[in-house]
Amino acid sequence: MRIIRGMCGRYTIRRPGLIKKLVYQSSFEEFSQIRIEPRFNIAPSQSVPVVRLNKEAVAAVKMVRWGLIPSWTKEKPKQQPINARAETVATSGMFRQALARRRCLVPADGFYEWQKLGDPKRPTKQPMYVHRDDDDVFAFAGLWERWKPDADAEPVDTFTIITTAPNALMSPIHDRMPVILSSADYNRWLSRDVPGEDVLDLLRPHAVDGFVADKVSTRCNSPRNDDCDCVAPLAE
């Protein structure tokens, strides 16, 4: 399996209980059956909580694996993208069906990006942790798919995070950032009654206000490290 890496490639859910705050009409019965541990270094190929509409068109929390497998593919692809570009998501064969029918919210309370410093030919990479200054939860714009290798197999649910151009906070760090949706837009993003082309205006850089970027240690470089030390700001 090959995961197509890009920005955003790591994020956090430090206080899982806040996911309920994010969901307006959550199926809490389903949520209560899922034990969600605090996560400080979520990496591709891992299963994490995602908010999507269930059969009754009610927002529900499900555990879904990060790295998209399209529902229409017959064989498990070697490339499983963790990100989709906002500029091409509506036209890409990999994503356009999911944009039309299977949009989701990816709860988070921070994400990592590695800033290149020093010699451009041999730069050092400084991990930066981007989060709200009040450490509240927010949601990335995501797409999900359900893939079955054959008729008798258990379905595999996967997702990807949409990225866009950076805002003023992110531009010194990286040339992309994840799409962070405003809470007022959650319902429109999730709605099956809204065509994919009618939500493209949401795929824009989020406002800088309320977000900060902290230098953190290289402990977050390894997905084996998943603890609060990953997000601890470095002393200046």
75 noted as active-site residue: no
137 DSSP assignment: -
b/e string for 144-169 if b means 16 or more Cβ within 10 A?
bbebeeeeeeeeebbbbbbbbebbeb
User: What confidence score (pLDDT) does residue 23 get?
Assistant: 73
> Cβ(80)–Cβ(158) under 8 Å?
yes
- Which residue in 8, 104, 220, 230 is the catalytic one? 8
CA distance 89 to 97: 10
Tokens 């099956």 map to which residue? 192
User: What confidence score (pLDDT) does residue 81 get?
Assistant: 94
CA distance 68 to 2: 11
113 noted as active-site residue: yes
∠ CA(215), CA(218), CA(219), 5° rounding?
115
pTM: 0.92
Interstrand relation of 103-108 and 177-178 (parallel, antiparallel or unpaired): unpaired
User: What confidence score (pLDDT) does residue 27 get?
Assistant: 55
Per-residue pLDDT of the chain (236 residues; tens, 9 = 90+): 444 445 678 999 999 888 877 776 555 555 656 778 899 999 999 999 999 998 888 888 899 999 999 988 877 777 789 999 999 999 999 999 999 999 999 999 999 999 998 887 788 899 999 999 999 999 999 999 999 877 777 889 999 999 999 999 999 999 999 999 999 999 999 999 999 999 999 999 999 999 999 999 999 999 999 999 999 999 87
- Amino acid at site 77: P
∠ CA(208), CA(214), CA(218), 5° rounding?
135
CA distance 29 to 96: 31
CB atoms within 10 A of CB 78: 9
CA distance 90 to 113: 25
- Which residue in 113, 145, 220, 230 is the catalytic one? 113
User: What confidence score (pLDDT) does residue 21 get?
Assistant: 77
